[in-house]
Chain A
């Protein structure tokens, strides 16, 4: 079993839809959870960052972590064509100089006008 599993996609939705992107993980030591957005032929950029369980909201984006179920989600409200990108989840067990991120494989989202 991979440490981090992410729905493979691709995912296509109409503009204005609510999008739910999900990752599951097996390592209970993961404490820090991130979502990265990657536009075509660009580097990943940090979108959301959360620590431990709970929700975090930033504009149209909400990140949710359920450590008891080892499940994280990213919700996008009122999706826009500019949200079309690949979304990668990432997680880390600890902070400090030797912390390394484990990434999901990413899911490609297309928002149709």
Chain B
């Protein structure tokens, strides 16, 4: 039981490049989330998916898109990376009816 896994662990992009961050969970959770964590800003919600087939914007969705591929997988796409998107990105999942969320190990992204 791996919990929440994220790939890649580290990535360096040039401004304007695109990339997709992958997230998968093996806990049969319905809800999944993408956060970014920046110094002094805490964890901020980018997008979430309450259940398979649904996605909704969070606090800071601009510049990102998401896909809930199936119940296990939730990807985050940067279409045209900007230096302001340099951050640590965390995926999380949660069982339906519970508030507790379980986090992955994170992806460190540097945009030059």
List residues of chain A with CB under 8 Å of any chain B CB: 32, 34, 36, 41-46, 49, 88, 92, 95-101, 103-106
Query: In the bound complex, how far is the Cα of B37 from the Cα of A14, in angstroms?
Result: 28
Q: List 22 A-B contacts (CB under 8 A).
A: A32-B99, A34-B99, A42-B105, A42-B106, A43-B4, A43-B105, A44-B43, A44-B90, A45-B103, A49-B99, A88-B42, A92-B99, A95-B97, A95-B98, A95-B99, A97-B31, A97-B50, A99-B94, A100-B58, A101-B101, A105-B41, A106-B42
CB of B8 to closest CB in A, whole Å: 15
Q: Give the contacting residue for A34; candidates B30, B40, B90, B100; CB below 8 A.
A: B100
Chain B neighbourhood of A103, CB < 8 A: 42-43
Chain A neighbourhood of B96, CB < 8 A: 96-97
CB of A77 to closest CB in B, whole Å: 23
Whether A99 and B104, one on each chain, are in contact in the complex, defined by CB atoms closer than 8 angstroms, is no
Q: Chain B contact residues: over half helix, strand or loop, or mixed?
A: loop
Q: Chain A contact residues: over half helix, strand or loop, or mixed?
A: loop
List residues of chain B with CB under 8 Å of any chain A CB: 4, 30-31, 33, 40-43, 45, 48, 50-51, 56, 58, 90, 94, 96-106
Chain B neighbourhood of A96, CB < 8 A: 96-97
Chain B neighbourhood of A104, CB < 8 A: 42
Q: Give the contacting residue for B102; candidates A46, A88, A95, A97; CB below 8 A.
A: A46
Q: Give the contacting residue for B51; candidates A44, A97, A106; CB below 8 A.
A: A97
Query: In the bound complex, how far is the Cα of B92 from the Cα of A44, in angstroms?
Result: 9
Additional A-B contacts beyond A32-B99, A43-B90, A44-B103 (17; CB < 8 A): A42-B105, A43-B103, A43-B106, A44-B90, A45-B103, A88-B42, A92-B99, A95-B98, A96-B96, A97-B30, A97-B51, A98-B56, A99-B94, A100-B33, A100-B58, A105-B42, A106-B42
